[in-house]
């Protein structure tokens, strides 16, 4: 089965879950009018289907290789990357001042979903480059921007994100990489970074590393971390490439998935010190890196949606082909296509609707990010920024969890063949595993949601989200056709449960933080079920009387009646089930 970008589903979500049409009308997305969004997506789909997807499975088998500090990417990668640059894809959201097209995150998010579904291991390279462009644009000096940005925006030079060290993963306060002032405005960086995605490769002529390090007089902890730009090749005054900088790849990880994405151990300053330049202010590097990480978090969320979607496509195709047993009500001897068995149908519906809900949440997040930058009214910008902050951990953790669950169900639908690599279902499951771990583990995302995001604007941000969901529910209540079944009741219960749990967590955070943190992961899932379910209902309402009506209504109904029903139970486990975190030795866990 060849990958086909789900363009009509993507457009439905963009228009009716993420407000693309409304944004075109109001002017926020005026640059996407006159069919531009559809045209770009069609071309992005061709690139994904014709260039990236055909090399995905071969890349998984071959992987990247390291010899003499040089990383060779999988067959076809270099040529695909050149086509990527030539097609201008890298520059989609880049700043117009440096050769970018300055298009909205919303459109880029839909494109990233398509490219990641076609070939996640490839797409990781440009994703990191786009994040680096954002960080340098937002925090770099004019000089750094004039030297680096144009090449980074075009994709001629790629970007990396260097946070992790052996002793410092989730806890960046433990960073040890050192930076010393060289006296000429530059710095000398020394240290080791691990797990650096595309830290070294052969697809571009230069690699721009963004590196977190500590100055000698830096305060301890996260307030003593600075961000540096460290190029693989130094750049001469005329913009040509100069000598090799003192940064090398010393090892490649052998991984469970994304084999074709080189995961590198990077040694900075083994000789004289890697030459780097400060981005932003000294000791404020984590703030600057967050610009890149937030971008990367949404991209990671989209990887979850992407793998879930392609796994669903493959499993649905297989379920039509594979014949086993008699389906209920069959008159003939069988065997029936397995898609006719209720249990297989349930799996396929879970796959399709969970993917749709996660997609809606991701696109909503992208829309909020765009409004935060593009809306004319300052208050709208400020509220949209807060909404993006609230939705980012939800998008990252919910969508990447869904990526894992749906790709696993994809293997299940294939039966024994799902376990056999030849089918390709297993690769999606292996590739999906990392999305719940990198860019901040999902546990840390849930903590971020509860500890920092619930209290944004004294709770006004989450209150606005609840009001937004209730507005859709009111519409659904008015137009409740029989096809929606119990959608309205079940989603109302899900939103009620979310509101109740949010209120309880607010109190618990002040009284007994361990109790609140114990409930963080189920709370994030509860939020995903409520927000995702309501967005599916909004899409179904908008699709009334058009070609999508039956599938959109069916999706909303299945999600509400079969999945969102978990919401009240999750609220109970949040509010009543946290004792295990309070009592040392609970259940014998020492």
Ligand X SMILES: Cc1cc2nc3c(=O)[nH]c(=O)nc-3n(C[C@H](O)[C@H](O)[C@H](O)COP(=O)(O)OP(=O)(O)OC[C@H]3O[C@@H](n4cnc5c(N)ncnc54)[C@H](O)[C@@H]3O)c2cc1C
Residues that bind ligand X (CB under 6 A): 161-164, 169-170, 195-197, 255, 263, 434, 437-438, 440-441, 443-444, 447
Residue 352 preceded by cis peptide, ω within 30: no
Residues in CB range of 294: below 8 A, 6 or more apart:
388, 392
> What CA–CA distance (Å, rounded) separates 301 from 528?
13
Residue 128 in contact with residue 159, Cβ under 8 Å? yes
| Cβ-based nearer residue to ligand X, 74 or 434 | 434
The reply to whether 439 belongs to the active site is yes
The residues facing 178 across adjacent strands are 190, 214
| Cβ-based nearer residue to ligand X, 307 or 495 | 307
Smallest gap from Cβ 250 to ligand X, in A, equals 15
- Using Cβ positions, the residue closest to ligand X within the complex turns out to be 169
Smallest gap from Cβ 72 to ligand X, in A, equals 18
3-state secondary structure of 3: coil
Smallest gap from Cβ 524 to ligand X, in A, equals 13
Smallest gap from Cβ 449 to ligand X, in A, equals 13
Smallest gap from Cβ 248 to ligand X, in A, equals 16
| Cβ-based nearer residue to ligand X, 36 or 444 | 444
Residue 10 in contact with residue 113, Cβ under 8 Å? yes
The one catalytic residue in 150, 439, 465, 499 is 439
Smallest gap from Cβ 515 to ligand X, in A, equals 14
Residue 335 preceded by cis peptide, ω within 30: yes
> What CA–CA distance (Å, rounded) separates 543 from 75?
43
The residues facing 193 across adjacent strands are 266
| Cβ-based nearer residue to ligand X, 515 or 563 | 515
Q: Pick from 540, 523, 261, 306: which is nearest to 410 by CA?
A: 306
> What CA–CA distance (Å, rounded) separates 211 from 194?
12
> What CA–CA distance (Å, rounded) separates 121 from 73?
11
| Cβ-based nearer residue to ligand X, 315 or 517 | 517
Smallest gap from Cβ 590 to ligand X, in A, equals 17
SS3 labels along 498-561? HHHHHHHHHHHHHHCHHHHHHCHHHHHHHHHHHHHHHHHHHHHHHCCCCCCHHHHHHHHHHHHH
Alpha helices for 146-284 (secondary structure H): 150-154
Cα 303 to Cα 110, 289, 402, distances in angstroms? 11, 21, 10
Which value, to the nearest 10 degrees, does the dihedral of the CA atoms of residues 528, 534, 535, 537 take?
140
In which region does residue 92 sit, left (phi positive, over 0), alpha (psi from -120 to 50) or beta (all else)?
A: alpha
| Cβ-based nearer residue to ligand X, 471 or 514 | 514
| Cβ-based nearer residue to ligand X, 77 or 558 | 77
> What CA–CA distance (Å, rounded) separates 393 from 99?
31
Rg of the Cα atoms in the chain: 24
> What CA–CA distance (Å, rounded) separates 1 from 20?
31
Residue 44 in contact with residue 5, Cβ under 8 Å? yes
Smallest gap from Cβ 171 to ligand X, in A, equals 6
The residues facing 277 across adjacent strands are 229
| Cβ-based nearer residue to ligand X, 20 or 194 | 194
Which residues are the active-site residues?
A: 439
């Amino acid at each position: 089965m060849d990958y086909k970008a789900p363009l009509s589903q993507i457009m439905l979500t963009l228009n009716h879950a993420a407000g693309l049409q409304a944004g075109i009308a109001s002017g926020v997305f005026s640059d996407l009018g006159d069919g531009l969004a559809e045209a770009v997506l069609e071309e992005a789909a061709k690139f994904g289907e014709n260039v990236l997807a055909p090399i995905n499975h071969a890349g998984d088998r071959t992987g990247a290789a390291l010899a003499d500090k040089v990383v060779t990417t999988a067959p076809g990668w270099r040529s695909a990357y050149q086509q990527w640059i030539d097609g201008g894809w890298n520059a989609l959201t880049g700043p117009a001042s440096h050769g970018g097209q300055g298009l909205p995150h919303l459109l880029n998010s839909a494109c990233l979903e398509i490219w990641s579904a076609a070939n996640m291991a490839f797409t990781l390279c440009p994703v990191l480059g786009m994040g680096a462009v954002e960080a340098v644009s937002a925090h770099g000096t004019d000089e750094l921007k004039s030297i680096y940005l144009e090449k980074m925006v075009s994709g001629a030079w790629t970007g990396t994100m260097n946070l992790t060290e052996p002793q410092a993963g989730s806890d960046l306060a433990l960073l040890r990489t050192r930076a010393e002032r060289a006296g000429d405005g530059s710095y000398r960086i020394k240290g080791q970074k691990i797990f650096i995605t595309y830290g070294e490769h052969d697809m571009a002529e230069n690699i721009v590393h963004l590196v977190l390090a500590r100055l000698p007089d830096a305060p301890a902890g996260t307030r003593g971390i600075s961000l540096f730009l460290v190029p693989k090749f130094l750049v001469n005054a005329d913009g040509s490439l100069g000598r090799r900088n003192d940064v090398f790849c010393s090892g490649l990880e052998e991984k469970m998935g994304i084999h074709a994405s080189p995961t590198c151990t990077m040694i900075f300053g083994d000789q004289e010190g890697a030459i780097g330049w400060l981005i932003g202010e000294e000791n404020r590097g984590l703030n600057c890196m967050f610009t890149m990480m937030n971008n990367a978090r949404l991209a990671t969320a989209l990887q979850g949606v992407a793998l879930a979607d392609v796994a669903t496509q493959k499993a649905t195709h297989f379920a039509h082909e594979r014949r086993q047993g008699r389906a209920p009500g069959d008159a003939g001897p069988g065997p029936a296509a397995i898609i006719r068995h209720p249990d297989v149908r349930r799996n396929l519906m879970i796959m399709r609707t969970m993917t749709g809900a996660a997609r809606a949440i991701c696109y909503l997040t992208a829309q909020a990010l765009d409004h935060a930058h593009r809306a004319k009214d300052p208050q709208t910008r400020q509220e949209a920024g807060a909404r993006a902050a609230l939705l980012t951990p939800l998008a990252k953790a919910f969508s990447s969890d869904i990526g894992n669950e749906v790709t696993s169900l994809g293997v299940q639908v294939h039966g024994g063949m799902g376990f056999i690599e030849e089918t390709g279902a297993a690769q999606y499951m292996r590739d999906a595993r990392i999305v719940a771990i990198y860019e901040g583990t999902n546990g840390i995302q849930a903590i971020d949601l509860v500890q920092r995001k619930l209290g944004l604007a004294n709770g006004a941000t989450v209150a606005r989200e609840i009001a937004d969901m209730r507005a859709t529910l009111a519409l659904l209540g008015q137009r409740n056709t029989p096809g929606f079944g119990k959608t309205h009741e079940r989603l109302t219960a899900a939103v009620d449960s979310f509101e109740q749990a949010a209120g309880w967590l607010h109190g618990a955070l002040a009284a007994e933080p361990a109790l609140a943190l114990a409930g963080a992961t189920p709370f994030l899932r509860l939020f995903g079920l409520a927000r995702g379910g309501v967005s599916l209902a909004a899409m179904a309402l908008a699709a009334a009387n058009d070609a999508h009506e039956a599938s959109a209504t069916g999706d909303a109904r299945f999600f509400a009646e079969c999945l969102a029903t978990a919401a009240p139970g999750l609220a109970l486990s949040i509010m009543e089930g946290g004792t295990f975190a309070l009592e040392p030795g609970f259940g014998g866990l020492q």
